[in-house]
Amino acid sequence: MGKRVTIKDIAEECHVSITTVSRILNNKKGYCTAETEQKVLDAVKKANYHPNPAARSLVTKKTNLIGVILPDIYNYFFQELFQGAEDFLREKGYSLVLCNTDGDAKREREFLNSLSQGVVDGIIVSTSNREDDNSTILELAQNKFPIITVERYGEELKDIPRILVANREAESMAVHSLYERGHRRIAFICGPVKADNAKRRLEGYRLGLEEVGIPYDEALVCRGDYKLDSGYRATKELLESQEFTALIAANDLMAVGAVRAIQDAGKSVPDDISVIGYDGTLLAELSKPVLGTVILHGYDMGKLSAENLFKIIKGKKIADKKVVFKPELKLGESIRTIQKEK
Amino acid sequence: MGKRVTIKDIAEECHVSITTVSRILNNKKGYCTAETEQKVLDAVKKANYHPNPAARSLVTKKTNLIGVILPDIYNYFFQELFQGAEDFLREKGYSLVLCNTDGDAKREREFLNSLSQGVVDGIIVSTSNREDDNSTILELAQNKFPIITVERYGEELKDIPRILVANREAESMAVHSLYERGHRRIAFICGPVKADNAKRRLEGYRLGLEEVGIPYDEALVCRGDYKLDSGYRATKELLESQEFTALIAANDLMAVGAVRAIQDAGKSVPDDISVIGYDGTLLAELSKPVLGTVILHGYDMGKLSAENLFKIIKGKKIADKKVVFKPELKLGESIRTIQKEK
């Protein structure tokens, strides 16, 4: 492989410093003679050199790239979140790069470190982590690096701008809704142990049961990992050992897996079992039957994250450092009324 | 906002050049005294400075990031492609950043330019472009920047490593398969004008018709844009004016839209109309009925792109500069036999 021309090569050829080349490329006038400027511009042209954004950023400190770090880019919810952020920031002249951590704290740290060092001007990070993985984010924020967190928990993050979802209220609302339609045996497929919001959604399910007066039965709860297959497997397991008329899955992907498992067992959704998902994505709409789900407003969450990040980059104040989105229940076709509560 | 510490600040504080700081941070010994080295390391520690990867790359020219530029990150095909590339490159110690062009040539150019300038070590670019948008890619390749193209056409790209799909053969195969099952009125929903592979898929449909002896009827062809809604709209339009027993959509997303439109018109897939998609994604598998589709092997295409890019980065030879993937037809549940061809 041939060698790429760098700003250093240009500087050496013209007998000037890297800083001088950088200033000329960034149109900062008055630091050198017009003659030197012309010499550098000629060398740049001759070498077909494109300024390296980070070398450029030694002076301007800008690349106009924004990093978005997500735990699962194949999940519709995060796609909608990204779309909301991209639509806003593109308008402002930024390009977004998307990074997939697969829910792995080590990979998240790697992305945070490599992106924050001159590659991007700011980061939106939304990973369903455990509370003990916040140290890199804290460090970046303390170094005044523009960063926004979404669906990320931990008391130590209280001074960092963040966007959250009322997970407990949402799942409790799903339980209430099924209870009002006559359901008493309601199964639950929860998310992975390592996801903090999975814990909160499970707490919401328990809270809902408590509020309507149904005793919590551990045998009706099965663990998934937010992926489709796990919803299928968990539901198959539940169907083999338990009787229930309704099932709540802690995200839409697992709910789609659940519907498939119920159908493969020769039963009908919603005639035999009602199903409610969580996220409110396109996937819920595309399902047959159309999936009842908790709508999280992923697009709006992404858009607000982007707006707030933009404010931080521009040195402006953010009105609310902590914004909690209130989910809504969308009924779809997958929920059946057994008997109306009087 | 506070000011971020840069390599330049460190250099100024220690009265050494940026290059010296960079060499010390990259463990290149022998360019300065041990005393200077210690002074710089102390300043770095005190300032809590993290080396900027591009400043670092003034010496090492590496960031261990790879850019993947795609036209539609919400399309399962490109997601599978990305997953294949990521699985391979992560093993090799790289992190991938994903960029969405939305099929826009200008945004693609922006990404190519900004990523190639010190942000990433190599690029995989797969956009369904028109042949006239290849100049930036050519320029990068001529500058020895590691780059691989996927599903990208143009005679001028012949010396650049690329991975393609036999689009014409694939759609012709879909027509043959329907013809053998007794279908004679076969509608087609094609991709957007600006996508070169859309043109090739339409040509494949025409080729297939010609081979089995069905005259081409323009009224049976409707244009979409590779998105779900467009498949829905195009099918609705066709249903209102035409009689047909089968429909081919130039990708799975539009095929899912087509199935929905047929069902909404009170007809059944496949009893009234058979549907074949294109891509062979998870979406086809999740559909009800399971969608018959042309499998493109997106994951393998992504993996091979990554393997070849890795070879280029390491200065190794690539066995075949041009690899054409042969698609397969997967029948699913959305295709009905009217009458077997004798």
- Measured between beta carbons, the chain A residues lying within 8 angstroms of B119 are 53-54, 63, 65, 119
Residue-level pLDDT at A179: 97
B60 interfacial to chain A (CB closer than 8 Å): no
Tokens coding A147: 């960063």
Q: Residues B274, B256: contact at Cβ < 8 Å?
A: no
Q: Say how far apart CA B250 and CA B190 lie, in whole Å.
A: 5
Q: Which residues contact B173 (CB under 8 A, 6 or more apart)?
A: B208, B294, B327, B329
Tokens coding B58: 């003034």
Check CB contact under 8 Å for B57 and A54. yes
Q: Say how far apart CA A18 and CA A20 lie, in whole Å.
A: 5
- CATH architecture, range B167-296: 3-Layer(aba) Sandwich (3.40)
A123: which strand partners? A67, A147
Residue-level pLDDT at B284: 84
Considering only CA atoms, which of A338, A120, A231, A107 is closest in space to residue B86?
A107
Residue with tokens 């939305």: B102
A-B Cβ pairs (cutoff 8 Å, strict): 147
Q: Does B167-296 match B60-166+297-326 at the fold level?
A: yes
- Shortest Cα–Cα distance, A124 to chain B (Å): 14
Q: Say how far apart CA A227 and CA A191 lie, in whole Å.
A: 9
Check CB contact under 8 Å for A53 and B118. yes
Alpha helix segments (H runs only) across B103-242: 105-116, 135-142, 167-180, 196-212, 228-241
Check CB contact under 8 Å for B58 and A6. yes
What are the tens digits of pLDDT across the range A257-288?
Answer: 999 999 999 999 999 999 999 998 877 887 88
- Measured between beta carbons, the chain A residues lying within 8 angstroms of B312 are 1
Considering only CA atoms, which of A44, A43, A22, A47 is closest in space to residue A32?
A22
B46 interfacial to chain A (CB closer than 8 Å): no
Q: Say how far apart CA B247 and CA B262 lie, in whole Å.
A: 10
- Shortest Cα–Cα distance, A128 to chain B (Å): 19
Residue of B119, B124, B227 for testing the chain A interface, max A β-carbons within 10 Å: B119
Q: Say how far apart CA B61 and CA B53 lie, in whole Å.
A: 9
A1 interfacial to chain B (CB closer than 8 Å): yes
Q: Residues B144, B304: contact at Cβ < 8 Å?
A: no
Residue-level pLDDT at A20: 75
Q: Is the model's pLDDT at A125 over the cut of 80?
A: yes
Q: Is the model's pLDDT at B81 over the cut of 50?
A: yes
Check CB contact under 8 Å for A96 and B96. no
Residue-level pLDDT at B102: 86
Residue A291 in 3-state DSSP?
coil
The share of chain B scoring above pLDDT 70, in percent, equals: 90
Q: Kindly state the average pLDDT of the residues A95-106.
A: 91
B285 interfacial to chain A (CB closer than 8 Å): no
Structure confidence at residue A2 as a pLDDT band (50, 70, 90): very low
**H or E segment to which residue B282 belongs:** helix B282-286
End-to-end Cα spacing for chain A: 77
Fold adopted by A60-166+297-326? Rossmann fold (3.40.50)
Check CB contact under 8 Å for B58 and A8. yes
Residue of B3, B10, B18, B78 for testing the chain A interface, max A β-carbons within 10 Å: B18
Q: Say how far apart CA A215 and CA A201 lie, in whole Å.
A: 17
> Which of B48, B260, B288 is closest, CB to CB, to A143?
B48
Residue of A100, A308, A316 for testing the chain B interface, max B β-carbons within 10 Å: A100
Tokens coding B158: 């012949």
Q: Residues B128, B108: contact at Cβ < 8 Å?
A: no
What are the tens digits of pLDDT across the range B195-215?
Answer: 888 999 999 999 999 999 999
- Measured between beta carbons, the chain B residues lying within 8 angstroms of A100 are 86, 96, 98
Between A56 and A269, the more confident residue is A269
Q: Kindly state the average pLDDT of the residues A246-255.
A: 95
Going by their DSSP bridges, the two strands A292-295 and A328-330 should be labelled as antiparallel
Residue-level pLDDT at B58: 47
Considering only CA atoms, which of B151, B177, B176 is closest in space to residue B165?
B151
Tokens coding A144: 């005044």
Judged by average pLDDT, the poorest of B158-162, B179-183, B338-342 is B338-342
Between B316 and B45, the more confident residue is B316
Q: Which of A102-106, A129-133, B128-132 has the highest mean pLDDT?
A: A102-106
Q: Is the model's pLDDT at A136 over the cut of 80?
A: yes
- Measured between beta carbons, the chain B residues lying within 8 angstroms of A58 are 6-8, 18, 52, 55
Q: Is the model's pLDDT at A128 over the cut of 70?
A: no
Going by their DSSP bridges, the two strands B122-125 and B147-150 should be labelled as parallel
B277 interfacial to chain A (CB closer than 8 Å): no
Q: Determine the number of helices (DSSP H) and then strands (DSSP E) in chain A.
A: 13, 12
ipTM: 0.73
End-to-end Cα spacing for chain B: 77
Considering only CA atoms, which of B106, B105, B98 is closest in space to residue B123?
B98
- Measured between beta carbons, the chain B residues lying within 8 angstroms of A315 are 1
B118 interfacial to chain A (CB closer than 8 Å): yes
Estimate to the nearest angstrom the gap between the alpha carbon of B269 and the chain centroid: 30
Between A335 and A159, the more confident residue is A335
Judged by average pLDDT, the poorest of A64-78, A203-217, A276-290 is A276-290
Q: Say how far apart CA A330 and CA A90 lie, in whole Å.
A: 30
Going from N- to C-terminal start, the domains of chain A cover 1-36, 60-166+297-326, 167-296
- Shortest Cα–Cα distance, B55 to chain A (Å): 6
B268 interfacial to chain A (CB closer than 8 Å): no
Q: Is the model's pLDDT at A341 over the cut of 70?
A: no
DSSP state of B99: E
Q: Which residues contact B130 (CB under 8 A, 6 or more apart)?
A: B105, B194, B195, B196
Structure confidence at residue B52 as a pLDDT band (50, 70, 90): low
Q: Say how far apart CA B248 and CA B292 lie, in whole Å.
A: 10
Phi, psi of B164 (to 5 degrees): -130, 170
Residue A38 burial (CB < 10 Å; 0-12/13-18/19+)?
exposed
- Measured between beta carbons, the chain A residues lying within 8 angstroms of B53 are 54, 114, 117-119
Q: Kindly state the average pLDDT of the residues B58-83.
A: 84
Long-range contacts of the stretch B300-303 (C-beta < 8 A, 24+):
B300/B84, B300/B325, B301/B81, B301/B84, B301/B150, B301/B163, B301/B165, B301/B325, B302/B80, B302/B81, B302/B82, B302/B83, B302/B84, B302/B85, B302/B86, B302/B88, B302/B124, B302/B150, B303/B84, B303/B85, B303/B87, B303/B88
- Measured between beta carbons, the chain B residues lying within 8 angstroms of A286 are 228, 256, 260
What are the tens digits of pLDDT across the range B244-261?
Answer: 999 999 999 999 999 999
Residue B255 in 3-state DSSP?
helix
- Measured between beta carbons, the chain B residues lying within 8 angstroms of A86 are 100
Q: Kindly state the average pLDDT of the residues A88-94.
A: 95
Sign of the CA dihedral with B46 first, then B47, B53, and B54 last: negative
B192 interfacial to chain A (CB closer than 8 Å): no
Q: Which of A7-21, A276-290, B157-171 has the highest mean pLDDT?
A: B157-171
